[in-house]
Structure 1
Amino acid sequence: VTTNDLADCEVLPDLLEQIDYPIEQVSGDGGYDTFDCYDATQERGATATIPPRSNAKIQQHPQEIAQPHPRDENLRRVNQVGRKQWKLESGYHRRSLSETAIFRLKTIFGGKLRRRFFDNQAVELFLQCAALNRMIQLGKPDSYKVEA
């Protein structure tokens, strides 16, 4: 959750710093298509699975001595195989799992927050997530192996 004066791409580096365990992949929509997001992801040893914007241009060309930037590599691959195929190859569609969870949360609790102040809104969202997680656990069947 961010305030209106911050873009998601601005807080990604701070979010990654809060995670203590290794990160394999960071997926985000085109709003995260910034060099800072790619750099923060690369610093954590993770793969950035962020689709380049439609008007993106390659910044480092193959003739340059420096290592190719991960954003340029994504853009080159999108140009080679197309955006749809890139999304399949990169595992980008795993991102839809979190999108589905947020859709479920908004459907159950409504798309608007009731609290006025940011700290209270964060608590409200935390409680909604806790309630949703509990509902999911209650709705799961108990499975066990039956011998024939």
Structure 2
Amino acid sequence: MPHKFNASRRHKFEKKRYRITNWSDYTESLRRRGDVTIWLSPDVEATWRAERRKTRGGQPAYSDLAITVCLTLGVVYKQPLRQTEGFVRGLVGLMGLDILVPDYSTFSRRGAGLTLPMTSRHQKDGPIHLLVDSTGLKIFGEGEWLQNKHKTKTTRRSWRKLHLGLDLVSGDIVCSDLTTDDVGDPTALPDLLEQIDADVAQFIADGANDGDPTSDLLIERFGETVEIIIPPPKNAVSSPDAVDTPTLRDQRIAAIRTRGRMAWQVSSGYNQRSRAETQMGRWKMVIGSKLKARNFPNQKTEANIGAYILNKMTEIGRPEFELIA
């Protein structure tokens, strides 16, 4: 429905106001996010060159850390591969480091399949409160430009689907995956959970993950104690044995029918899913809404680097809020 038809029913609840309690520290952390020394330190010189391997074939000149550092700088400062090469070469010259900088073709070749650490170093001990959501990222291909320029109708727009798992306690991205646009959220969930090596106390996701297969997977992976918060659709039907042996989904359906959907969202904590929307907005503001890489393996590496960058920025400093009204 258009926005104007729902205008009379909007703003039924007064918007809460918050105040940042660590404003000075948070402001300094925002400044440090642009500091080059955060992303490139003199200590990297010792591990810049790759270790010699004993198998047959040519020897790599640069370590995975060197490629990761260069690609990370390119994503942080939004530089293509050739400009990234020149940018890092200038930094190395200013710092007086005696190292060679890979060229742009090496970035493209070595970037495919590059592994990066996902969890932040300052992640707190204890179980994870996992929030999973997905969004779309545009890629190079036929799209709006071709349609506007030549008045042709494109068969489909080119984009990828980014799946993120956020820890509500620490604010870290603990798992991420990039898939094609035809992969649904339940299909991508097993690969996301494989990246988590800690206990999960709570799992929150939108209605796209509704169903017994998702609940069974979570219980099998994290045990019976995991709290699953997934809203069923409006036309959801209880199972035949809902009266005698109700499942978790049956309990959610009954609670919504009894108290209403809004009351269930407040009591269950589902409203915290808004932080996933905030994280997606943060991604598209800091990293960008498009992927620069042309092939799928490099696009996956670019997405992993984006998650690593956001975790690094979270490590530098986060705002602390308190409710004032």
TM class by smaller structure: 0.7 to 0.9
Is the 1:26–1:47 Cα contact (8 Å) retained in structure 2?
yes
Secondary structure at the aligned position of 1:59 is classed as: coil
Deviations 1:20-61 (A, max 9, x none): 322111111111012211211222231210010111111134
Q: Distance in 2 between matches of 1:140 and 1:50?
A: 28
Asked if 1:9 is matched to 2:186, the reply is: yes
Cα separation, 1, equivalents of 2:294 and 2:234: 37
Contact 1:49–1:90 (CA<8 Å) still a contact in 2?
Answer: yes
What is the alpha-carbon distance in structure 1 between the residues aligned to residue 197 and residue 275 of structure 2?
Answer: 22
TM-score computed with the length of structure 1 as normaliser: 0.80
Cα RMSD after superposing both structures: 2.1
Deviation at 1:94, TM superposition (A): 2.2
Partner of 1:128: 306
Structure-2 residue corresponding to 1:146 = none
The equivalent position to 2:278 in structure 1, one of 72, 75, 100, is 100
Say whether 1:109 aligns with 2:269: no
1:77 counterpart = 2:263 = no
Question: In terms of mean alpha carbon deviation, does 128-137 or 41-50 score higher?
Answer: 128-137
**Matched residues in 2 for 1:133 and 1:29: separation?**
23
* Aligned mate of 1:59, from 233, 239, 243: 239
User: Following TM superposition, by how much is the alpha carbon of 1:130 offset from its aligned partner in structure 2, in angstroms?
Assistant: 2.3
Offset at residue 137 of structure 1 (A): 4.1
Q: Report SS of the residue matched to 1:48.
A: strand
Does residue 88 (structure 1) correspond to residue 266 (structure 2)? The answer is yes
Greater Cα offset, 127-136 or 37-46? 127-136
Q: Which moved more, 1:25-34 or 1:5-14?
A: 5-14
In the alignment, the residues of structure 2 paired with residue 27 and residue 124 of structure 1 have an alpha-carbon distance, to the nearest angstrom, of: 26
Aligned to 1:47: 227
User: Aligned in 2, Cα 1:55/1:14: closer, same or farther, shift over 3 Å?
Assistant: same
Post-superposition Cα deviations, 1:69-92, rounded to whole Å, max 9, x if no partner, equal 111111111111111111111111
> 2:309, 2:192 → 1: CA distance?
23
How far apart are residue 114 of structure 1 and its match? 1.6
Aligned residues of 2:242 and 2:250 also touching (Cα < 8 A): no
Which one has a bigger Cα radius of gyration? Answer: 2
1: CA distance between counterparts of 2:276 and 2:243? 39
CA contact (8 A) 1:42 1:48 kept: no
Provide the rounded CA distance (Å) in 2 between the counterparts of 1:131 and 1:100: 16
Aligned-residue offset at 1:138? 4.2
Residue 135 of structure 1 deviates from its aligned partner by 3.4
Deviation at 1:102, TM superposition (A): 1.8
Shift of the 69–13 alpha-carbon distance from structure 1 to 2, 3 Å rule, reads: farther
Which residue identity lines up with residue 23 of structure 1 in the other structure? Answer: V
Residue identity opposite 2:209 in structure 1: Y
In structure 2, C-alpha distance between the alignment counterparts of 1:54 and 1:68, rounded to whole Å: 18
Higher strand share: 2
More helix by share: 1
State the secondary structure of the residue aligned to 2:180: coil
Matches within 5 A, 1:11-26: 11-26=188-203
| In 2: Cα distance, 1:27 partner to 1:90 partner | 10
Residues 40 and 79 (structure 1), Cα distance of their counterparts in 2 relative to 1, 3 Å cut? same
